Amino acid sequence: MKRKCNNQTEDSRLQGDLIPSVVLVRPYKKSDFACAAPGQKGVGSVLGGGSQMFPPAGGPFNIEMLLSLAVTFEHFEILRAIGKGSFGKVCVVQKTDTKKMYAMKYMNKQKCVERNEVRNVFKELQIMQGLEHPFLVNLWYSFQDEEDMFMVVDLLLGGDLRYHLQQNVRFQEGTVKLFICELVLALDYLQSRHIIHRDIKPDNILLDEQGHVHITDFNIATTLTKDSPVTTIAGTKPYMAPEMFSSTTPTSYSFAVDWWSLGVTAYELLRTRRPYHIRANTSTNEIAHVFKTATVMYPAAWSPDMVALIRKLLELNPEKRFSQLKDIQAFPYLSDVSWDAVLQKRIMPEFIPMKGRLNCDPTFELEEMILESKPLHKKKKRLAKKEKDTSKSNSSQVRAGHLQKHLEMLQRDFIVFNREKHWPLPKPLTVFGGPGLGGVTGRGLWGSCFGGAWGSQGWGNCGVSGSSCQAVGSSRAAVPLWGLGTAWAFPHSSIILFYPQG
C-alpha cells in the first residue's frame, strides 16, 4: 500500500529500522498531513501543515529524554500555599527527581471557562514560553489534568513588594534606584520581544532571597506589532498610563505605558502612597480629569536627582516620557551604574528580605487547607478515586453540554511546555468527540482515532491500516498495534509512545 508525501512515495507498512516515536493526535484535515523524510528516523506530527521531528535532525535518539518530557502533577510534592493570582492560586512545590523548588500556579478549568478566562491563560502561556530573563519570573513547565491547568515557575522567596509595603517597610532611595535599574532591563527585554506587560505594580514584582526584583503575572500582557495596534483598556487603574483613558475614541498606546507604571511604583515605594488619587472603582472620566488637574507632590526629603527621574517616568505625554533603556542609561543620576553588573546581579541590594520568614500572607495556607472545596494537597487521592469511578461510569455525561464542549476545547488546545528539556509540545494529545486522523511517524506508520480520548481518564479506538485496538489512559496501557508494536498512553500527559517490535 503506497501513499504520497512531500513528492516521495512511502510504504505504509512498518519496515526497516524501527524506533520509538511520539504520536501527536488531534482532529485534522488532509492538508495538515506531514511526513518524515525517507530514511530519517523520527516522527512527523499533524501540526498545521508542518512537521516537527523528534529527535531533531542529526541528534541521537534518547528514549529517556522522550519519557522525561511527560512532566505531570505526579512529579511534584506540594509543600504549602503562598498566594493568589488573578486566575488561580500558588503553592511551593518540589520536583521529586531533581529536588528543585518551584512555585506552582494552578487554575481550575471549570472556573476559567465559566469566567471566560481561558483565552488569557493561553495567552500568558504562549508569551511566557518565549521569555527568559534574570529579572522575570520564568516559566519552567506547563501541563494539565482533568481538573486544573498548571504553570510551574521560578520560586522567589523574598515576597512581593506589596507585602513589604503592607509590613511598613520604608524603602530607601538607594534600594529604589537599583529596583528601577533592574526593572528597566526587564522592560527593555520585553520591548525587544514586542511585549507590553500592562500590569506593572508592587503586587507583580517579587523579590528573591538576595533582594533582586522579578516581574511576574503576564495574564493581561499583549504583543505589539505594526499591523495590530493596541487600544484595549487593561491593567490596574491606579498604575495605568493617561493615554489608556481616552474619553472620546480608543487611542493606541505602546511600551511607554509600562514605564509609566514603573514611575508610579517607584513613587509608591518611596512614599508609601501613589502620586495620583485613583482607585480601582474610579471611573474613566474621573481618571482623565485627575490627570488634567492634579499636581504630583514630591517630598522635600527626596534627592533632586530621584525627583527628576520619577518626573521623566511620570511624564503625561508618552512621546516625552522615558520609555527606552537608552533614555535611562543617559540620565545623569544613573551615569555611575555598571549595567553589566546589574544584569549579572553583582550589585547587592540594600534591602534584603528576612531569611527564615514567610514573606507572604499566612492566611493563604489556611484558605487552601480549610476553605477550598478541592484543595491541591488532596488532588492525588481525589484523582485516583475519580479514575476508579470512571471505570464504572462516563463522567463526561454528567457535565452540561455547553460547559463540556469548552472544557474539551481547553483540554485539546492547552500548551504543554518543558523548559528543562528545551522542547515545547505545541498541541496536546487528548482528543474528544468526532472522527479524526492523527499521528504521522517516519517510516510510514499511520493511524486513525475515532471518537473517545487519549489522556488522564479517557479512552480511544485506534487503528493502524484498518486494524483497530483500544486503550484506556487512566493508567499506563500497553496496546498492540497491528501485532507489531506497543503504544503507551501516559496518564495526565501529552505523550503517546509507539514502540515497534523488531
pLDDT for position 360: 64
pLDDT for position 161: 96
pLDDT for position 79: 87
* CATH, residue 288: 1.10.510.10
Domain identity same for 277 and 207 = yes
Q: What is the mean pLDDT of each run of 10 residues along the chain (502 residues)?
A: 38 31 32 34 32 43 55 88 71 92 90 85 91 96 89 92 94 97 98 96 95 95 85 91 78 92 98 94 90 94 97 96 95 95 96 76 48 53 58 52 77 81 45 31 30 32 34 32 35 37 37
Q: Which residues are CB-contacts of 362 (< 8 A; sequence separation ≥ 6)?
A: none
| Reduced 3-state DSSP string for 298-339 | CCCCCCHHHHHHHHHHCCCCCCCCCCCHHHHHCCHHHCCCCH
Domain boundary among 343, 376, 400: 343
In a domain, 357, yes or no: no
Catalytically annotated residue among 32, 160, 199, 208: 199
| Active-site residue, 227 included | no
Phi and psi angles of residue 498, each rounded to the nearest 5 degrees, phi first: -110, 120
CB 189, CB 350: distance < 8 Å? no
In a domain, 356, yes or no: no
C-alpha–C-alpha distance, residues 379 and 383, integer Å: 6
In a domain, 380, yes or no: yes
C-alpha–C-alpha distance, residues 208 and 155, integer Å: 8
In a domain, 133, yes or no: yes
C-alpha–C-alpha distance, residues 261 and 272, integer Å: 15
In a domain, 32, yes or no: yes
Domain around 109? 73-156+362-417
In a domain, 435, yes or no: yes
Q: Which residues are CB-contacts of 115 (< 8 A; sequence separation ≥ 6)?
A: none
DSSP annotation of 267 reads: H
Domain identity same for 173 and 314 = yes
First CA to last CA distance, the chain:
20
Domain identity same for 233 and 336 = yes
pLDDT for position 479: 34
pLDDT for position 463: 33
Domain identity same for 413 and 302 = no
The verdict on whether omega for the bond into residue 55 sits within 30 degrees of 0, i.e. cis, is: yes
C-alpha–C-alpha distance, residues 192 and 272, integer Å: 31
Domain identity same for 195 and 312 = yes
pLDDT for position 365: 46
Binding-site residues from annotation:
105
Domain identity same for 181 and 277 = yes
Helix (H) or strand (E) holding 289: helix 284-293
In a domain, 470, yes or no: yes
Binding-site residues from annotation for ATP:
105
* CATH, residue 372: 3.30.200.20
Domain identity same for 43 and 145 = no
Domain identity same for 289 and 205 = yes
Structurally, how many domains does the chain consist of? 3
Domain identity same for 286 and 201 = yes
Domain identity same for 328 and 383 = no
In a domain, 229, yes or no: yes
